Structure 1
Amino acid sequence: MYSKHCDNLREIEGAIKLVESDLRRYISTEQESKVYKYTKILSYLVTCWSEVRILKLTYEDNAFTQSEIGIIINSGTLAFKWKNALKIAVCKAYNINPTVDFVSQLPFTPKNRYLEIHHLIESDLLPSIELRNRIAHGQWKYAFTTDLKNANTQLTGQLRQENIVKLQLKRKLLTGLSFLIHDLIISEATFDRDFDKNYKLIEENKRNLHKRDYTSYKTKMVEKYQRGKLKKKENLQA
């Protein structure tokens, strides 16, 4: 199963690269209608990637028992898959029964680390899942409430604010999250040793997610394209 999930992950990553390549071209040439459509495709693929990423992690050698794998893959939602993988990994590492209030039994530092990682799932993965579900149901321009009776203004705004910069940074965040859980599963010592370094990278990506400006990115891409056109014209005239 592990190798199959690896194959699926490679295929999705290949698709992401293709879509990103086309999307960058449309941004450079200011084809806004195509930019909007390809951004929705990229948003969908990034969340699909996060689903396969947690399945790959679940089936890694010596990571989880068959019983634990069953709990994770039968968790229902994608967010619960990530949360249960984290919960089981923490309980295994610190020898705590996962059926009790395990958070209160964690030592101070591991507890804070767990809560930080859990918060990452809540704040950075859940919104992406919600948008993916809307896109999958054809809500590309307007998102609706669950009963489909009214427009969902908040989600509609989020749909329209998605862009390549945010989506690339989200992938980096989720990659860092998977590394943290992987280290926790494989070796408590490795997790403790590398946590600050790995979490620092996640924090940097989170800051970039809020600081990096798509408008500036777009301006640079357009200017680069225009310079290329001018240089090509000059070469033809030489």
Structure 2
Amino acid sequence: MIEDQNLSIYKAATENVRELKKNVKILNKMINFAIKNGNTQELDTLTKLYLLLFSTYAEASFLKLINTPHGFLKTEIESINQMRNLENKWKRCIEICLDKLRNNINKGDIQNKNKRLEKLVEVNIIENSQIRNKIAHGQWHTCFNNSNTRISEENTTKLKNIDVVKISLHLEIYVKIQQCIEDIIESPKTHYRDYYVSMEEIERIENAIADKKNWNLATKKKKAAKFKKI
């Protein structure tokens, strides 16, 4: 019965993810059109919507991930869901996932990979979700602290620096992070092999971040301007 329930959740989450992917494509077309036409106000609105959509996609696909058939045990899923926020849920998910390799991989190596995965999740998912929460609570121009008793200059700056190109990169990286977890949990008999396949992917992700660290909206606008001249 429990397995059927988890499968139902997985299927429903899969449908949500599929629908969100369609909306990401639609929004990207609108963003590219706004950039091409130099519509700053429209781009600002679409950028905030893009961050909302990305964070929504991340949460929906995370639910799909932890309910993957033949992946986590019922008790493991419950342990993840009991965490109080998305950050802790991700940490618990990674911890459980890598713990499955304890008989094949030395403890130090697992701890190293755990830190690298957690860092990628923190930068590409959690930080975005925190600003998403500000936007979702109506803080579209100026952010407040968590109790709404004073202005948060730090988060206001982050809000103003939202960049559609950076969000796209975060989305690309998120998909790869999720795939790394799936590589490990879906093949119990090949954990050792899949672990190293996953860690090679982590290195590729880290390299991609380094290669694209200077990619931003300004470079995208320059590229769009060149095409416009042609």
TM-score with structure 2 setting the length = 0.88
After the TM superposition, which segments of 4 or more aligned residues of structure 1 sit over 6 Å from their partners? none
2:39 counterpart letter in structure 1: Q
Map 1:13-162 → 2, pairs under 5 A: 13-94=21-102, 107-162=107-162
In 2, are the aligned partners of 1:141 and 1:159 still within 8 Å (CA)? yes
Work out whether 1:192 is the aligned partner of 2:195: yes
Tell me what 1:225 maps to: 228
In 1, are the aligned partners of 2:183 and 2:194 still within 8 Å (CA)? yes
For 2:29 and 2:54, locate their aligned partners in 1 and report how far apart those are by CA, in whole Å: 15
- Paired residue for 2:13, among 5, 22, 34? 5
Count of paired positions: 219
Tell me what 1:213 maps to: 216
In 2, are the aligned partners of 1:144 and 1:152 still within 8 Å (CA)? yes
In 2, are the aligned partners of 1:72 and 1:84 still within 8 Å (CA)? yes
For 1:184 and 1:175, locate their aligned partners in 2 and report how far apart those are by CA, in whole Å: 15
For 1:149 and 1:192, locate their aligned partners in 2 and report how far apart those are by CA, in whole Å: 46
2:100 counterpart letter in structure 1: K
Instruction: Please give the root-mean-square deviation of Cα atoms over the aligned residues, in Å.
Output: 1.9
Give a deviation string over 1:78-124, Cα, whole Å, max 9, x none: 112211111111222326xxxxxxxxx95222221111112222233
SS at match of 2:32: helix
SS at match of 2:213: helix
2:167 counterpart letter in structure 1: L
Q: Percent identity?
A: 22
SS at match of 1:148: coil
2:218 counterpart letter in structure 1: T
Structure of greater Rg: 1
Give a deviation string over 1:137-189, Cα, whole Å, max 9, x none: 01111111112122211111111111111011001111111112112223422
TM-score with structure 1 setting the length = 0.85
Deviation at 1:74, TM superposition (A): 2.9
Stretches of structure 1 that go unaligned for 5 or more consecutive residues are 96-104, 228-238
In 1, are the aligned partners of 2:71 and 2:186 still within 8 Å (CA)? yes
Deviation at 1:51, TM superposition (A): 0.6
For 1:121 and 1:179, locate their aligned partners in 2 and report how far apart those are by CA, in whole Å: 13
